[in-house]
Amino acid sequence: MILSGSYAQEQENGRPLGHTNQNKFRQMKDLLATPNESRTASGAPGYAYTQQKVDYIMDIRLDEANNQIFGEEKITYHNNSKDYLEYLWVQLDQNMRAKNSKTPDINTEIFNAAFNGPQSFTSSNLKDRFDGGFNIEYVKNDDGSNLSHTINQTMMRINLPKPLAPDAEFKFQIKWWYNINDINVDGGRSGLETFPDGNNNYTIAQFYPRLCVYDNVEGWQNMQFWGRSEFALEFGDFEVKITVPADHILEATGDLQNPKDVLTKEQQRRFNEAKKSFQDPVFIVTQEEAEQAEKGGTTKTKTWHFKANQVRDFAFASSRKYIWDAMAVNINGREVMAISLYPKEGNPLWEEHSTRVVANTLEEYSKLTFDYPYNKAVSVHSERQGMEYPMICFNYGRPNPDGTYDERTKRGMIGVITHEVGHNFFPMIVNSDERQWTWMDEGLNSFVETLAELDYDPNFFTGNLPKDIVPYMGGDQSYISPIMSHGDYVHQFGPNAYTKPAAGLYMLRHTIMGPELFDYAFRTYSQRWMFKHPTPADFFRTMEDASAMDLDWFWRGWFYTTDYTDIGVKEVKQYYLTDKPTEKAMKLAELYNMNLDAFKDKLIYYAEAENGIVPSDAKKVEDFAFLKAYLESLSDQERSKLLKAPKHFYQVTYEKPGGLVMPIIVELTYEDGTKERKMYPAQIWRYNENQVTKVYKTDKAITSIVIDPDLETADVDTSNNSWPKKIEESEFDKFKDKVRG
């Protein structure tokens, strides 16, 4: 096989066969779904777009003595589609921890130590498996009669008595309970944390049977939950009553309906004060009060009542250990509350930063997407969690027992709060399918998170910039998957779903599109798909539709392949002026049967400098009398349009060993120390993706050329980025054989 430019040709009897278009700039018609009346070619929802609605009324009881949660829910399913539905699918996420769960069976096991201490041996070999999972007491019709259903691991099919017609609704009831897992012992995205003082911190989510998404792309999204790829959910209205010990402080999705029943008059007064404080948080429960409360315990209960409209999920947190502070945030003239709950173990870090980070996140995300539509955002501290739900999230970042903390702990805490609060936008509002396309919420969110973190602290290390992902991009190809992969089946989940998409979007904004075009397009996508279910094609198409930029080359390379960026300076040739015919000129004259003697004193020749050394007798522009005469023959107006005569001439060949096409960013340094930047669009590679040449005609000698000086394109091998070449071994040299192999 012979590779020539972007085309592959096979030889047969000396004659090349035909080939398909493999040009890196070919359009993505072969990869994206065909537009239709539901999803337009522009990336917007079509006139026939529909989505379902699911409403929940729930009564929840937290049993602190036994660490169990009990629930009864009434569900109203609204069929807004044009389809008749024979059944409904319900997610039972807690079943991942059931004793008969298949999740442990899909993981390989090895002996990871030659010996064990008594504690680790007991945990590994003698401890009984946690008895989690839903215990379904009944599934009933609205009239109380039994409703047929089938449970398949983390999914339950509701067998409808008759097909549910378009524009009809179906009401049914589920009663259930389960044992709450200890997140530090049994793991999990929600559960409880046990403290040495005997108290628990309950961060509860995925706690109720929830309807799967039914849409006009996938039908039912009923992929099993294996513990990694997250959730696809429908929007609806929630009314939830949660009964907990009377001395607990509780926060949840939605607006509190009965503050007078669950808060003291002093707590109500302080919260009203917080609504007017836009600069600093106000304590509703102080650390002193929380420390006093954690010494207690009670058999009495309180019921907290919440309502939330147009949300896709519900979660809550409850403990007697909570310190509670809050402040107001101005979102385009509208008051939103930033709130934090945390045990004393989180201080002083949490009282210094948490609520302020929440406020900053709401402000910065709203600038780049849409005004935050809910009334609050809550950050709850739990030792090992980082998980998001509408209006509430659970976050790690704990100081040492003596209250000290290092910069890494602080940065981690600020980062996780920004990230999880940011999830209110993606996917809690721009409601993508996390089970299939993890990057559509994690990647987009990590990108906006980066901008918010840099606003909070300009020196913040985000880990999401193009230069940060070079080790991943240049790593062993057998452990790298394209971004467009199901999250359950990739080796390096974090880089694949979080950092590579975030770095790519940062590159689009900062380097390829520019902030003005990018921000308008990104805001258009966000607002088009608020409270709807977008797909990757909707994102790709909207970004192009709203910016007038053809980005198919970028989506195809960055999202659909594991190609990497590697652009270098292959060769630099320097030329000088002469009045003597060069070898190249003589060959050209022979080809066209020209007599160069007849053009004496009428032609200027470019001669290549050997080893970059220009001879002392090299001509200058002013040395050519016939050129001077020609210039003097021009009118003043014509001469005014001419550039200053160059003294130096260079031809630079850029090569691209890497598979990705990218802009070429060049920094030229001149003999007087001044610098000049040039950026050539990625389309420079459209005819030859292996190498391209550019000519520089300058008044000053060029002393160095550097490609991508600010590391904007995730170039995995910078050893070929400079001229004169720096003699050093790059990190790439250590693994390039694996990569290129």
SS (H, E, C) 162-229: EEECCCCEEEEEEEEEEECCECCCCCCCCEEEECCCCCEEEEECCCCCEECEEECCCEEECCCCCCCC
What does the pLDDT read at residue 113?
67
Show the tokens assigned to 475.
């790593």
Q: What is the pLDDT of residue 740?
A: 38
**Backbone φ, ψ for residue 187 (5° rounding):** 75, -175
736, pLDDT greater than 90: no
> What pLDDT is attached to residue 12?
64
d(CA 664, CA 656): 10
Reported in sequence order, the residue ranges of 609-700 that DSSP labels E, i.e. its strands, are 648-655, 664-670, 675-680, 691-698
C-alpha of 602 from chain center: 61
**What distance in Å separates the CA atoms of residue 268 and residue 198, rounded to the nearest whole number?**
28
Is the predicted pLDDT of residue 18 greater than 90, yes or no? no
Q: What is the pLDDT, as a whole number, of residue 118?
A: 78
Q: How far is CA 647 from CA 112, 581, 702, 706, in A?
A: 68, 19, 11, 21
Q: What is the C-alpha separation between 334 and 460, in angstroms, rounded?
A: 29
pTM for this one? 0.93
**76 pLDDT exceeds 70?**
yes
Cα–Cα distances (Å) from 216 to 37, 49, 83, in that order, read 10, 8, 10
The answer for 600, left when phi > 0, alpha when psi is -120 to 50, beta otherwise, is beta
Q: Cα torsion for 293, 296, 301, 303, to the nearest 10°?
A: 20
Neighbours of 74 (CB within 10 A): 16
DSSP letters, 562-605, are ---B--EEEEEEEEEEESSPPHHHHHHHHHTT--GGGGTTT--E
Handedness of CA 484, 486, 489, 492 (dihedral sign): positive
DSSP codes, 450-493: HHHHHHH-TT---S-SGGGGHHHHTS-GGG---SSS-GGG-S-H
591 burial type by CB count under 10 A (0-12 exposed, 13-18 middle, 19+ buried) = exposed
Six-digit token string for 329: 């945030």
What single letter denotes the amino acid at residue 480?
I
Per-residue pLDDT at 544: 98
Indicate the domain borders of the chain: 53-105+126-560, 578-604+613-640, 647-740
Q: Within 13 Å, how many C-alpha atoms sit on residue 547's CB side?
A: 26
Sign of CA dihedral 379, 382, 388, 391: negative
The H helix count followed by the E strand count for the chain is: 18, 35
- CA-to-CA distance for 81 and 98, rounded, in angstroms? 34
Q: Which two tokens stand for residue 458?
A: 């300009």
- Helix, strand, or coil (residue 323): strand
Three-class SS of residue 124? Answer: helix
- Is 513's pLDDT higher than 60? yes
For 157-188, what is each residue's pLDDT tens digit?
999 999 999 999 999 999 999 999 999 999 88
Q: Across-strand partners of 55?
A: 76
d(CA 606, CA 624): 13
Summarize pLDDT for 635-681 with one digit per residue, the tens: 999 988 888 889 999 999 999 999 999 999 999 999 999 999 999 99
Phi (first) and psi of residue 609, to 5 degrees: -75, 125
Residue identified by tokens 């598979």 is: 659
Distance, CA of 228 to CA of 215 (rounded, Å): 22
d(CA 186, CA 183) in angstroms, rounded, equals: 5
Please answer whether residues 327 and 338 qualify as being in contact, where contact means their C-beta atoms are separated by less than 8 angstroms: yes
676 and 628 in contact (C-beta within 8 Å)? no
* In contact, 700 and 650? CB cutoff 8 Å: no
pLDDT at 735 (0 to 100): 44
Element (H, E) at 292: helix 287-293
* Section 293-311 average pLDDT: 96
Domain at 53-105+126-560, CATH from 2.160.10.10, 3.40.50.720, 3.30.460.80, 2.60.40.1730: 2.60.40.1730
Give the model's pLDDT for residue 395: 98
Q: Is the pLDDT of residue 422 over 90?
A: yes
Report CA 721 to chain centroid distance, whole Å: 29
Would you mind telling me the total number of residues written for the chain in this entry?
Answer: 741
The C-alpha angle with vertex 336 and arms to 286 and 352, in degrees rounded to 5, equals 40
Question: What amino acid is encoded at 78 in this protein?
Answer: H
Q: Coil, strand, or helix at residue 529?
A: coil
Give residue-wise pLDDT tens across range 472-512: 999 999 999 999 999 999 999 999 999 999 999 999 999 99
Name the least confident of 55-59, 295-299, 308-312.
295-299
Mean pLDDT of the chain: 93
Q: What percent of the chain clears pLDDT 70, i.e. is strictly above it?
A: 95
**Which strand (E) or helix (H) includes residue 640?**
helix 636-640
For residue range 358-387, list pLDDT tens digits in order: 999 999 999 999 999 999 999 999 999 999
What is the predicted pLDDT for the residue at 738? 44
Lowest-pLDDT choice from 90-99, 136-145, 711-720: 90-99
Instruction: List pLDDT tens digits, range 189-213.
Output: 899 999 999 999 999 999 999 999 9
What is residue 101's predicted lDDT score, i.e. its pLDDT? 82
User: How far is 209 from 71, CA to CA, in rounded Å?
Assistant: 10
Spatial separation of the C-alpha atoms in residues 715 and 666, rounded to whole Å: 13
